[in-house]
Structure 1
């Protein structure tokens, strides 16, 4: 029997309130006179594969042996066993039909008002989809090398998973475990729980959501395998999910995962899981990555038991996936451990495009290597070359080798072929352009961007060079072709990117999920994992949340990067363990407060010098900071063009050109040419980007033509008014729903939360600005409640007008 029910406690309380049924509350809690029934393997509305692990909290007035469980006429009572204090039953519900299933829990015996509960379990196919929308074409690999899992069906699935064993030798390598007696060179390992066990690894491989998955954990053949009711010495009851990097258009089941044979993790007793769809080189789609991780974790829980918590691990785009998944689908991961990472795919791919535009335009403009490098903002002229590895994902006719040549798109020869541009690969997310039938183009938007603006101001570029550079930038059309004219991205697609979390503004689950992000410093070498991406993350977190209590950033010299990684793993283990304990003892605390109060002392921003000295110092752009003296920040092309250091704007709002605002002298001829480049104006970086809206909700599902976003019916208005010569911003929110909602109101002048606003009720707050006049602006209203059994957060941004209380006439 499991030693305790701490696994259920930790997962529930670390998970997001926006992700119900990812796990359960403590045994015995909240079921004095009613059954407390909860799916602990996944969300009750996102079950897959026909099985669900269900916990039943039994009321104090019902003996557990009197509980009866039925599903569609089948008696499942015998599948539920007592766990923990005996007042909780745990059972695997199997053979679910596709769609809705009603699980009935009853209490037999005498007595008035015997409790009962009915729970709807929504089952989806093992091959998916659950939330990502209709399938795309897929080329199977599970039957061949390196998997060799047997024949596949039309969904690339094999009949059953296969289990093999590896062992760690005393010389420090992994080898296949032979049949018969254990080998003499078998090493042992001591887990973080202090148990010494033979270092033998059970590796399970199979297919889920059309991906190949792997699960590895310590287990000696012939002994009990851990299950939801049975603990073993080898597994420390924690799960690490790994993610791989790069970015590729993947119509393939692929041949690599994030890796599970990880000595650092396995030797400590962690279970390790991953899949081929969690490697961005195979599948540069964070929605299917999230979906697959959710489904693999679900299978893990149903097979081995509920982990105390799940940590993500992965570098580069592996960090990117963790951050995107944690923000948009909180509860799949409870903590993010990242290395040399990025906040999201679109803002990074944009840099790749801009590097290519600048490289080509610089030659025509006669820029030297040093001048071109200054325009890019990077430390090395080679950095842009690395970033240009990304931009091919927006070229529809450039397909990876796994797509047969005869099936690839060609605008003339095969116009109905497979298009290999990001817009088409994830058209379920961005939608389809009705005029072309292609995915809505999210190509780089160059309209209004003045490349090299800061280098003009600093004297690195002459006015003539600046004009010639911008004349040569051009753009990219939907076929991936360079165009001499500047091009605009699809505004509808951009808005979807922000409101669904594809551009990561850290305003969903990343308001509380702990992040420890390390970076080996390689800026001078031309590596495109530049340190400035750490600052992008920090600035976005602070902009959304007002603080960065859940983000730790550590930069290290190449020689000490391993030290930083160990610090991150140890720190996250301590942080999540402490958070679980605090959540159990202080259930009234919200997610954000739990994370802040449980952060380990001594776990802080800083850097590690080449000699091993650790400097504790808050992350800052101040060049005088000690860490910045050792590891200077650089910039990127859009920042050198005057853009925000968050690098979060895909398309800028425009303002007229003002010749006097440049601080340099243009000739009349140069000014006319510059006006021709920017006929509609130049970027006004003081304003939010076009379509830059908050995340509308977490756990968004997608259909064939974009997001399916459930919305709570609330009405929000914002007004300005004058009182005693001072300006006030007043926000009112009416709950038009048939159930209570929680409301949070944020303005530039303060914020206020309201719990349980009744149906038909209002939340009202008047914020003092302490000044006589305010400009027009917006408020952000987040309403959270239940809609069709699903936790939903709806974001509304009412606009308020400008007001001048020194002059009571309406602003013009």
Structure 2
């Protein structure tokens, strides 16, 4: 039998989409014998592709792609094809779903079988980059005589490639995608100058879904990145402000990457980049769907949405309390100590941005019509715009309400514990605060008493990967984390999140994993943080540095293109492959303080950029801040190091009848990941 082997160039055999797939046929006889490709016994429609053959005409569902010699199948691969509209593994399409492709100037697809698929006609435009840094669209890109006389080249000194960019927009997985790359309109080969880096952009925010959405903060016409030779890509469902759904983001990343493979060629490396919610997506994709990203550049990072949201809801409770006569007596110093942040402005910023996601009626995307939104009396089956309701495929429902269950729990939380221990607030203030703090209810209202999350729901959240536990490839994917310090500003991006992630990603021997460096620079405010650049912090240079790191790993035989299945680089291999000079980097008064110990101990960096926390860490939670529902121990007045009267001690047990948090043990329901590549 002929020595021939057929395999997919990229991706999983059971997760092919769009009716086509790129395969490579290899073996000793590949160039010796005559062979053909068939699908389930019928000669396939194929096209020559830079990486092999593009096989078209796959029916939805299972098929077998076969290599045939003299009527005999000598090699085959079974694939499962899914619609280009999805879903693949994210679960059934959530309905209703509101389209926004017209906001991008796209036309509806005439062959769409369901308007809720939000399918649009693919649009290709060509753009010229001018020497003054501006862009203009080329009306007739194939006629070079119409190109602008001040057309730039891709490198200001010594470059010769005309700075002309192909931009493609369309719909995949019900998302609007956007791709750009330096290209030649008359070249037979697509993007001949592409360096093989798929520079994938993830937008921030945290939206409540049910919409095709928008793209926020992801500029695919980034001249510096394009000049470097990168192919830039993003989509509306890789913008967390559209849907705070990391599984849907992972699925869309996979499908858009497959589209790049099929229409251009297989990327050398897929490198993610994005801040805030864009960082969350990368960490959870690396944990839950390892292999989709080869490297990550995260900015103003959060570990995940689920361990951040309890502190956000705490801000709402604390802000309400500070509006009472007793709470209004708290000074700015006392509020800062209770809140845990560097300034009370952080809770104000949370209230102005993402706290509305606690209410099913307030945090809805602008594309969702008012008449479609939930109302407990007028429209009880309407769209609910909370974080948990946007994840109906990923979370269980409450037996009491029928709505998607929340993970938020504040039973046993000793609000202001550290402030009491430090004698910043009095015992009476501590007791009054905790007695009256209240809790958010399913419809976003605040009522007296604490809220207890169902332990089964909490366990499900951990098991299915909504909490960043450092799983998957999070300890092996090269990562540069850009931290813009704004702990004393009106912002929501606090420094301690970066170190919370570091704690969660430590190895079993407590060493850092060796795959992540942190670059720290001064920030400013919320807008600066969302922009992701400041001083000489260059996101494009970060991606180029990550590509160098990956190349070194490949040369060592443990990189994305050279290691075998199931093989990951060790800590020593990751450290050895770092580009020269790459390490933790802290900019202090214009000077870079560099080294892997720069964030430990007392030094200029830690003095300039102190780490704070949030209401949970100020209540005693560890730096990892990964406990959603704490285990309890009996309340003990002697545990605070300040004197309680007998009456105050008795009141303490009344305020905490079930006990207070015991942060020295794992939380209730805090279990390891069930696995990776889960389907819903």
Q: Indicate whether the TM-score tops 0.5.
A: yes
Q: For the residues of structure 1 that align with 2:246 and 2:237, how far apart are their CA atoms?
A: 9
1:3-42 → structure 2 map (5 Å cutoff): 35-42=4-11
Q: Which residue of 1 aligns with 2:330?
A: 367
Q: For the residues of structure 1 that align with 2:46 and 2:452, how far apart are their CA atoms?
A: 62
Deviations 1:230-272 (A, max 9, x none): x61x211111000111111122212325331111211111000
In the superposition, relative to structure 1, how do residues 405 and 697 fare at CA in structure 2: closer, same or farther (>3 Å)? same
Q: Which residue of 1 aligns with 2:348?
A: 385
Q: Which residue of 2 aligns with 1:514?
A: 478
- Correspondent of 2:52 among 54, 79, 90: 90
Q: Which stretch of the first structure deviates more once superposed, 143-152 or 674-683?
A: 143-152
Q: Which residue of 2 aligns with 1:235?
A: 194
In the superposition, relative to structure 1, how do residues 127 and 481 fare at CA in structure 2: closer, same or farther (>3 Å)? same
Q: Which residue of 2 aligns with 1:271?
A: 231
Q: Which residue of 1 aligns with 2:78?
A: 120
Contact 1:617 1:627 in 2 (8 A): no
Q: Which residue of 1 aligns with 2:451?
A: 487
SS across alignment from 1:339: strand
1:561 Cα offset (Å):
3.2
- The structure with the greater share of residues assigned to strand is 1
Q: Which residue of 1 aligns with 2:313?
A: 353
TM-score normalised to structure 2 length: 0.91
1:423 Cα offset (Å):
1.9
Q: Which residue of 2 aligns with 1:69?
A: 37
- Correspondent of 1:552 among 517, 529, 538: 517
Q: Which residue of 2 aligns with 1:167?
A: 128
In the superposition, relative to structure 1, how do residues 191 and 101 fare at CA in structure 2: closer, same or farther (>3 Å)? farther
1:143 Cα offset (Å):
4.8
Deviations 1:731-768 (A, max 9, x none): xxxxxxxxxxxxxxxxxxxxxxxxxxxxxxxxxxxxxx
Q: Is residue 688 from structure 1 mapped to residue 652 from structure 2 by the alignment?
A: no
* Aligned-residue CA RMSD (Å): 2.5
- Higher RCO (C-alpha 8 Å, min separation 6): 2
Contact 1:252 1:402 in 2 (8 A): yes
Q: For the residues of structure 2 that align with 1:350 and 1:56, how far apart are their CA atoms?
A: 52
Q: Which residue of 1 aligns with 2:528?
A: none
TM-score normalised to structure 1 length: 0.76
1:284 Cα offset (Å):
1.1
- Correspondent of 1:281 among 229, 233, 241: 241
SS across alignment from 1:145: helix
- Correspondent of 2:339 among 376, 381, 402: 376
1:190-229 → structure 2 map (5 Å cutoff): 190=155, 196-226=160-190
In the superposition, relative to structure 1, how do residues 71 and 562 fare at CA in structure 2: closer, same or farther (>3 Å)? farther
Q: For the residues of structure 1 that align with 2:513 and 2:361, how far apart are their CA atoms?
A: 42
In the superposition, relative to structure 1, how do residues 61 and 296 fare at CA in structure 2: closer, same or farther (>3 Å)? closer
Q: Is residue 137 from structure 1 mapped to residue 95 from structure 2 by the alignment?
A: yes
- Correspondent of 1:252 among 211, 216, 227: 211
In the superposition, relative to structure 1, how do residues 619 and 437 fare at CA in structure 2: closer, same or farther (>3 Å)? farther
- Correspondent of 1:471 among 406, 420, 435: 435
Structure 2: give runs of 5+ residues left out of the alignment. 525-532
Contact 1:507 1:545 in 2 (8 A): no
Contact 2:599 2:605 in 1 (8 A): no
- Correspondent of 1:615 among 575, 594, 617: 594
Q: Which residue of 2 aligns with 1:642?
A: 620
1:297-376 → structure 2 map (5 Å cutoff): 297-362=257-322, 363=324, 364-365=326-327, 366-376=329-339
Deviations 1:217-238 (A, max 9, x none): 0012222342xxxx61x21111
In the superposition, relative to structure 1, how do residues 143 and 528 fare at CA in structure 2: closer, same or farther (>3 Å)? closer
1:674 Cα offset (Å):
1.9
Contact 1:519 1:561 in 2 (8 A): no
Q: For the residues of structure 2 that align with 1:595 and 1:37, how far apart are their CA atoms?
A: 32
1:280 Cα offset (Å):
1.0
Contact 2:250 2:289 in 1 (8 A): yes
1:354 Cα offset (Å):
1.0
Q: Is residue 534 from structure 1 mapped to residue 512 from structure 2 by the alignment?
A: no
Q: For the residues of structure 2 that align with 1:304 and 1:670, how far apart are their CA atoms?
A: 71
Q: For the residues of structure 1 that align with 2:563 and 2:208, how far apart are their CA atoms?
A: 44
